[in-house]
Chains A and B, each alone.
Chain A
Amino acid sequence: MNDRVERLDVPILMDEAWHYASGEAMERFSTGLAARRIEALRCDGCGRRYLPPRPMCGNCRLRMTHWVAVDDTGTLEAWTVVHQPILDGRTGEERPSPYGMGLIRLDGADTTVNHFVQTGGPRRQGVTPPGPPLFIGQRVRAVWREELRGAMDDILHFEVVEP
Chain B
Amino acid sequence: MRSVAVVGTGQTKHARRRDDVSQAELVREAADAALADADMCAEDIEAVLIGNMELFEGRGLPELWVGGGAYGTGKPVMKVATGGTSGTSTAIAAFHQVGSGLFDRVLAVGFEKHSEGHTQTGMALTDPFWDRAVASGALGNFALSVSQYVAAGHATEDQAALVAVKARRNAARNPHAHLQMPDLTVDEVLASKMLAHPLRMLDMCPQSDGAAAIIVASDAVAREHNPRPAWVKATATRHDQCYIGDLDRRLLSMRTLRDASAHAYTQAGITDPVRDLDVAEIYEPCTYAELAWYEALGFCEAGEAGRLVEKGVTSMTGALPVNPSGGVLSTNPVGASGVIRVAEAACQIHGRAGQRQVERADLALATGYGVYAWADVVVLGSEP
Contacts and interface: CB of A to CB of B under 8 A. Distances in A.
A86 B120 contact: yes
Interface residues of A, number: 47
Contacts of B146: 80
Contacts of B136: 82, 86, 95, 101
Interface stretch (B97-105, B194-202, B305-313, B351-359): B194-202
Contact of A84 (B15, B18, B131, B195): B195
Contact of B139 (A3, A84, A89, A153): A84
A30 to B, nearest CB: 7
Contacts, number: 122
Interface residues of B, number: 46
A7 B209 CA distance: 14
Contacts of A86: 120, 124, 136-137, 139-140
Interface string A25-54: 010001000000000000000000011100
Contacts of A95: 136
B243 A111 contact: yes
Contact of B131 (A80, A92, A114): A114
Interface in B33-78: 58
Given A22-B129, A52-B129, A114-B131, 16 more contacts: A7-B19, A30-B129, A50-B246, A51-B245, A58-B246, A80-B198, A82-B136, A82-B196, A84-B196, A86-B124, A86-B140, A87-B120, A87-B123, A89-B125, A102-B144, A115-B131
Interface of A: 1-7, 12, 18, 20, 22, 26, 30, 50-52, 58-59, 77-84, 86-90, 92, 95, 101-103, 111-116, 135-136, 151-153
10 tightest Cβ-Cβ pairs between the two chains A and B: A89-B124, A80-B143, A112-B245, A153-B133, A78-B144, A87-B120, A58-B241, A89-B132, A82-B196, A111-B245
